[in-house]
């Protein structure tokens, strides 16, 4: 699947792309009162870019320039923009380290 094909509501997303941006992590409190760390990132391929949220262990797993594979991801909408997430059941893995 290519990034240009992604629409809000898409599930079981499988794609490869490169992390082109990554913010510093910040702490958020979930609706259940749990404290979690999250970082905003952007993943790009030859068709476009999309925001992706990196939660907890995934924050330190990837860096700018890394080529990653997303498995079983989904696309939601945040502030009117599509956003990719791996959620509870998805996976992100580094398939090529950046420079």
Region for 62 from its dihedrals, namely left if φ exceeds 0, alpha if ψ lies in -120 to 50, beta otherwise: beta
Give me the number of domains the chain comprises.
Answer: 1
CATH of the domain at 21: 2.40.50.140
Q: Could you tell me the pTM of the whole model?
A: 0.90
CA distance 71 to 89: 9
CA distance 71 to 93: 8
Show pLDDT as tens, one digit a residue, over the chain (99 residues). Answer: 999 999 999 999 999 999 999 999 999 998 889 999 999 999 999 999 999 999 999 999 999 999 999 999 999 998 899 999 988 889 999 999 876
CA distance 99 to 89: 29
Domain that holds residue 61: 3-96
């Amino acid at each position: 699947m290519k990034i240009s094909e992604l629409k809000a509501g898409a599930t079981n997303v499988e794609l490869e792309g490169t992390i082109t941006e990554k913010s510093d992590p910040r702490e958020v409190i979930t609706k259940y009162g749990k404290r979690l760390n999250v970082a905003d990132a952007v993943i790009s391929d030859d068709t476009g870019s999309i925001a992706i949220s990196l939660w907890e262990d995934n924050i330190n797993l990837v860096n700018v320039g890394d080529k990653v594979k997303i498995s079983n991801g989904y696309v939601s909408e945040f502030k009117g923009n599509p956003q990719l997430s791996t959620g509870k059941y998805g996976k992100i893995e580094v398939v090529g380290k950046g420079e």
